[in-house]
Chain A
Amino acid sequence: DVQLVESGGGLVQPGGSLSLSCAASGFTFSDHYMEWVRQAPGKGLEWVGRSRNKANSYSTEYAASVKGRFTISRDDSQNSLYLRMNSLKTEDTAIYYCTRGSCSGGSCHSFPDNWGQGTLVTVSS
């Protein structure tokens, strides 16, 4: 079975940094795009960013709200996805979900087909 387990959440002050990890198992991690999605308390879902696979040069995409502050990386040897968050703002407070991507159609338009349980990041003084 596919398993995605996030860790690293916690309380951080505005302007601080935090790193999240996602440990993947039950599938060939290196084949898949991976993404982060977040959800502020009582709010809807927001796409954060994407890491493509090795075949696509591990390229990344980011939401405008996090671009330049957040960095997605991965270690295929460890079956792990990471999210480095710098210059954190109170509006970054959310549950952060790791998702596995699957492609539909001839070209890879990737969508989440599996989700982790999430890790809570609270940015507050």
Chain B
Amino acid sequence: DIQMTQSPSSLSVSVGDSVTITCRASQGIDNHLAWFQQRPGRAPKSLIYAVSNLQTGVPSRFSGSGSGTDFTLTISSLQPEDFATYYCYQYNTFPLTFGGGTEVQIK
């Protein structure tokens, strides 16, 4: 199975800060990498697919990059509604697998 390792597991930031979350795959996944946001008590929401493509309606302060095995999610100028847990996800090889999540907390 492909292991998806996210770091950090949590971080504390202030509104207006920029945040970068990394995700490393244990083997190459081409560009089949997505990111999801989950606010407390809510269902996940799709943010990004194919490494860097924003889902419709996702603000442009979210961006994704990377290739091969190393990927990043960047949130520029964090807003109050961005405090949530973020998951990366590889959909290249079965079984499909998620990262362990990164909780973004208010400082």
Contacts and interface: CB of A to CB of B under 8 A. Distances in A.
B43 A111 contact: no
Given A63-B95, A104-B50, A45 B44 contact: yes
A61 B94 CA distance: 8
A92 to B, nearest CB: 16
Nearest to A115: B43
Contacts of B32: 104-105, 109, 111
B91 A110 contact: yes
A109 B92 contact: yes
Contact of B36 (A45, A50, A64, A117): A45
Contacts, number: 63
Contact of A97 (B34, B44, B92, B94): B44
B89 A111 contact: yes
Interface string B38-80: 1000011110011001010000000000000000000000000
Contact of B55 (A37, A63, A113, A117): A113
Please classify how large the interface on chain B is, using the bins under 10, 10 to 19, 20 to 34, 35 or more.
20 to 34
Given A45-B36, A45-B87, A111-B34, A116 B49 contact: no
Nearest to B33: A111
A47 B97 contact: yes
A102 interface: yes
A contact patch SS: strand
Contact of A118 (B43, B55, B100): B43
A102 B56 CA distance: 13
A15 B61 CA distance: 47
A46 interface: yes
Contacts of A45: 36, 38, 44, 87, 89, 98, 101
Nearest to B1: A64
A104 B43 contact: no
Q: Which 8 A-B pairs have the closest CB atoms?
A: A47-B96, A104-B50, A45-B98, A111-B34, A111-B91, A115-B43, A109-B32, A44-B101
Given A45-B87, A113-B46, 5 more contacts: A44-B87, A44-B99, A111-B32, A111-B89, A115-B46
